[in-house]
Amino acid sequence: MQWGRLQVDVNCALRRGAWYRVAGLAALEAILDVNRRPLKVPHYLVEVVSRPPTRWSVVPRPEGAGELPSEWGPHYGVCPSCRERAALHGRPRRLTCNRCRGEFDVAWDEEYLAQF
């Protein structure tokens, strides 16, 4: 089993910071399981790992992200288990997901898409 997430800041059918199961890899594309449907994306857009993610991704707020509450500030977290987004008030070391109730460390050291 492999997992993939966007590694570049682009608008597509994937949530920034969210991990998806990899259904297949080819030289030019990755096939990800998105809501139980296969989605082909260019392979260069995707970071692939062989271990399931265990930490919240810290994602810089995209420009024009009107669906995210403005009080969340310049970044937010994405749950490694269910892909739920959450506010990161301060710099919490651990965070509990309101959706799946999983508690995970926050990956402040990853520098995902930008430096904080």
Instruction: Please write the tens of the pLDDT for every residue from 45-79.
Output: 999 999 999 999 999 988 877 788 989 989 999 99
Question: What string of DSSP letters covers 37-95?
Answer: EEEEEEGGGEEEESS---EEEEEEPPTT-TTS-GGGTTEEEE-TTT--EEE--S--SEE
- What is residue 113's predicted lDDT score, i.e. its pLDDT? 86
Same domain, 59 and 97: yes
Place of tokens 């994602």: 59
Q: Are residues 69 and 39 in the same domain?
A: no
Q: What is the model's pTM?
A: 0.88
Residue 116 inside a domain? The answer is no
With a pLDDT cut of 70, the percent of the chain lying above it is 97
Domain count for the chain, please give it: 2
Would 63 be classed as within a structural domain? yes
* 28 within a domain of the structure (yes/no): yes
How far, in Å, CA of 66 to CA of 61, rounded? 10
| Residue 103 and residue 60 share a domain | yes
Residues 27 and 64 in one domain: no
Calculate the CA 89 to chain-centre distance: 18
Q: What is the pLDDT of residue 116?
A: 46
Q: What domain range includes position 40?
A: 3-49
Dihedrals φ, ψ of 13, to 5°? Answer: -80, 10
Same domain, 103 and 59: yes
Cα–Cα distance measured from residue 97 to residue 35, given in angstroms and rounded to the nearest whole number: 19
